[in-house]
Amino acid sequence: MPIPSDGRKWTTNECRIKMDPPGLDPQWRPTVLAAADMWNAAGANFRFVEDSASSNHVAAYDLGRWNGWIALTQTRPKTPNSALTSATVLVNLHYGWNPSHPSVQSSPQGQAYDLQTVVAHELGHALHLGDDNSPGSTALMKGSIKPGEVRNLSRDDTSAIKLLYP
């Protein structure tokens, strides 16, 4: 099943994004970069580019139960078929992560979410791909995840980004 998008995209075929403190612990940086590189290697005409001066960013904060959300991505503007101008990815430290956060107590390893998988999924939202809620989906953009679950890009994921960024 195709992964939905409402046509919003980065007109420069790149998203410059900050992946350093204060919002993100330096020990998590390699995992976040690996998540971005999953999309960079998808074969589309698009790249995430690390830029410490960018207003787009990946951050991690303890947001409490936060309606059960383990992470969230916000993009602007909200108008369909418009040019994206900003993206913020938030990882919720209330939940346990693998690798564990260096300064925040996490849940036991079996209860931890895979940071690379979750951040890669959220970066898919920064590309403005929607959740794939089709039954039996194995896509990275599947709308739910269980602790310990690791996903890679599926054929549907790569087809969706190549459609937006041929």
> Any idea which architecture 14-164 has in CATH?
3-Layer(aba) Sandwich (3.40)
d(CA 165, CA 45): 5
- Residue 73: closest CA among 61, 85, 62, 57: 57
d(CA 131, CA 160): 11
Residues ≥6 apart with Cβ < 8 Å to 68:
none
d(CA 59, CA 101): 12
Specify whether the CB–CB gap between 91 and 70 falls below 8 A.
Answer: yes
- Residue 39: closest CA among 144, 149, 162: 162
- Determine the pLDDT at residue 107: 57
pLDDT by 10s per residue, the chain, length 166? 568 888 899 999 999 999 887 778 899 999 999 999 999 999 999 999 999 999 999 999 888 777 778 999 999 998 888 999 999 999 999 889 989 888 777 655 558 999 999 999 999 999 999 999 888 899 999 999 999 999 999 999 999 999 999 9
- Determine the pLDDT at residue 12: 93
